[in-house]
Amino acid sequence: MSAASLPQADARVSPEDFKQRSHESLHDAHLRQSFRGAMDFLVERRALQFPDLQAFNTLRKLGENVRQHALAQLPDLLERLEARLTELGVAVHWAETPADANRIFLDIARRHAATLMVKGKSMVSEEIGLNHEMAAHGVECIETDMGEYILQLDGDRPSHIIMPAIHKTKEDVAAIFHEHIDGAPLSDDVNELIAIGRRALREKFASAKIGVSGVNFMVAETGTLALVENEGNGRLCTSVPDVHVAITGLEKVVDRLEHVLPLYALLPKSATGQAVTTYLNLITGPRRAGEKDGPREMHLILLDNGRTQAYREARFRATLQCIRCGACMNHCPVYTRVGGLSYGTTYPGPIGAIISPHLMGLQSTRDLPTASSLCGACGDVCPVGIPIPDMLMKLREAGRHSVAESITPPAQALVGQGSVRRAGEVLAWRAWRVLYSHAALYRLFAWLAPRLRWLTPAWQGGWTASRAALKPAPRSLREQLARRRAGRTVPGR
């Protein structure tokens, strides 16, 4: 029932319909309940991991420091990383757009005559629509993270970056497995469901030529790729197939190996309230001489897709500090109510609202920075200190103002800069400016407005959707004061 009322999305849904979809989600009691429950659970579990605010702040400062230190020298670190990886025998690829990245994947698949890829959880692969693109060219790309696998079988999309299938019940999953996996009995025992998934995917791991993974952190010093996971599918994808292709955003690099430690100390605690994950998998190059497993060939695809736009402006650069823990979503009162699918973007919630405008342009994502009450919870919990509410405000400004009109003009326009600008609104503010900067005009206006108050419309756009209409007072404050003063014979007191 819940599944049917969700936006079914095989191809890309668009953030343009955010308002419409949130509206629908708000009326889906079942969906709201499952999100609320999941978010309360995650919030509580995280709180248990950080009982001491001061200790949290100390660690968070260090995490922020690591990320800022890396970003401050990003091009240099990327060059070092590339050199290290090349020495290790890893092919490094650069992709400006999702299309570039998909072309690189396809070239690799063709070269190995591969028709099957197994994939560990990777948000960047969702960002480029990898499964879809590969399928269009006859290559099957199978999700192996249990949550993602369930969604793939059902043609649905992830609603949370850490717990992708939280909008599915075990009954939903039972029905999906029963329908799509040969010989799967209809069981709603969770242990059995996971066992069914495990068995079905084992065959894929054993037969796929190519394993695909994301990356949590890359180390310039050693050329190490760090993967964080609980299930073991990431290890299988990077150990069993002959070829390993990792894809990630180019911002994920850190300088030194030990810099991974504070980030790893922050990530699982912030994400799921676990002190550590089952596996921290550090991969440094392909299989070495004499080794019996591990990929013989390894590739790393570094995706830009708008990240360099965020990098260019000091006021947006902190967006790239993100370690994708999802804590900002779990704590967001808007996300908790509208759910992850409403956003129509790869990254939903507060992080989605600040990163998506760079990835997709402000035109289609213009509503996302407004999906916030600016309560500040996201900024408070962010383990790497991203001032998310500030960024939301800056994006709102960039949406409303062209470069020339901006209060603090940016050096270059964002893609889609000024796309929320409406002629009527601009005109209204111009008029306001004229009135408020000419005393005589203002006085005339202040005298006229109360007398013409009967002319104010009852419908005032978005304002009256949930509030009473605005009407000038019967007399302005200035007039009332003047009258009171005149009527008084004895000065007060």
Q: Which of residues 379-408 bind ligand SF4 (CB under 6 A)?
A: 381-384, 386, 388
Q: Please list every residue from 60 through 79 that binds other proteins, using CB under 8 A.
A: 62, 65-66, 68-69, 72, 74-75, 78-79
Pick what 456 binds: ligand SF4, other proteins, none; C-beta below 5 to 8 Å, kind-dependent: none
Instruction: Using alpha carbons only, give the angle 359, 362, 365 rounded to the nearest 5 degrees.
Output: 80
Which one, 193 or 226, has the nearer CB to ligand SF4?
Answer: 226
- Tell me which residues in 334-353 interact with ligand SF4 (CB under 6 A): 350-351
Binding residue count for other proteins, defined by CB under 8 A: 96
Let me know how long the chain is.
Answer: 493
Q: How far is the CB of 335 from other proteins (least distance, A)?
A: 17
With CB cut-offs between 5 and 8 Å by kind, which of other proteins, ligand SF4, none does residue 328 bind?
ligand SF4
Q: How many CB atoms lie within 10 A of CB 262?
A: 22
12, 132, 178, 287: which one binds other proteins (CB under 8 A): 287
Q: Report the candidate in 320, 485, 433, 307 with the shortest Cα–Cα distance to residue 386.
A: 320
Interactions with other proteins, residue window 183-212 (CB under 8 A):
190-191, 193-195, 198, 201-202, 205-206
**CA-CA distance, 247 to 216, in Å (whole number)?**
10
Pick 254 or 420: Cβ nearer other proteins: 254
Neighbours of 213 (CB within 10 A): 28
- Residue 338 tokens read as 């509208």
User: Which residue in the set 31, 134, 166, 338 belongs to the binding site for other proteins (CB under 8 A)?
Assistant: 166
State in angstroms the smallest separation of the CB of 232 from ligand SF4: 24
How far apart, in whole angstroms, are the C-alpha atoms of residue 381 and residue 391? 15
**Among 1-9, 103-111, 393-401, 435-443, the segment contacting other proteins (CB under 8 A):** 103-111
**Cβ-based burial of 338 (10 A; exposed 0-12, middle 13-18, buried ≥19):** buried
Closest CA to 332 of 346, 314, 359, 352: 352
317: amino acid identity, one letter = R
Q: What DSSP line would sit under 77-89, residue for residue?
A: HHHHHHHHHHHHT
384 binds, among ligand SF4, other proteins, none (CB under 5 to 8 A by kind): ligand SF4
Residue 305, Ramachandran bin (φ over 0: left; ψ between -120 and 50: alpha; else beta): left
What, of ligand SF4, other proteins, none, does residue 90 touch, CB below 5 to 8 Å by kind?
none
Among 37-45, 46-54, 125-133, 326-334, the segment contacting ligand SF4 (CB under 6 A): 326-334
Task: Report what 27 binds from other proteins, ligand SF4, none; CB cut-off 5-8 Å by kind.
Answer: none
Contact present, 305 and 96 (Cβ < 8 Å): yes
Window 254 to 293, contacts with ligand SF4 (CB under 6 A): 270
Residue with tokens 């010093």: 221
Q: Determine which residue in the list 326, 339, 348, 357 makes contact with ligand SF4, applying CB under 6 A.
A: 326
Q: For ligand SF4, give the closer residue by CB, 177 or 343.
A: 343
Cα 307 to Cα 15, 77, 311: the distances in Å are 18, 16, 6
Query: Looking at beta carbons only, is 21 or 324 nearer to ligand SF4?
Result: 324
Give DSSP secondary structure letters for 389-439.
HHHHHHHHHHHH--TTT-SS--SSPPTTTTTT--HHHHHHHHHHHHHHH-H
170 binds, among other proteins, ligand SF4, none (CB under 5 to 8 A by kind): other proteins
Contact pick of 109, 146, 322, 362 for other proteins (by CB under 8 A): 146
- Residue 106, binding choice from ligand SF4, other proteins, none, Cβ under 5 to 8 Å by partner class: other proteins
CA dist 318 and 178 (Å) reads 45
How far CA 1 is from CA of 31, 167, 172, 332, in Å, comes to 10, 11, 9, 26
275 binds, among other proteins, ligand SF4, none (CB under 5 to 8 A by kind): other proteins
Among 157, 252, 324, 366, binds ligand SF4 (CB under 6 A): 324
Q: Which is nearer to other proteins, 182 or 293 (CB)?
A: 293
Signed CA dihedral, 82, 87, 88, 94: sign only: positive
Q: Which does 325 bind (CB under 5 to 8 A by kind): other proteins, ligand SF4, none?
A: ligand SF4
SS3 of 226, please? Answer: strand
Q: Kindly tell me which of 25 and 277 has the beta carbon lying closer to other proteins.
A: 277
Choice from 29, 293, 422, 491 touching other proteins (CB under 8 A): 293
Q: Which strand (E) or helix (H) includes residue 280?
A: strand 279-283
**Is 332 among the residues that bind ligand SF4 (CB under 6 A)?**
no
Query: CB–CB of 120/145 below 8 Å?
Result: yes
Partners of 219 in beta bridges: 224, 254
CB-nearer residue toward ligand SF4: 108 or 228: 228
Footprint of ligand SF4 on this chain (CB under 6 A)? 270, 322-328, 350-351, 381-384, 386, 388
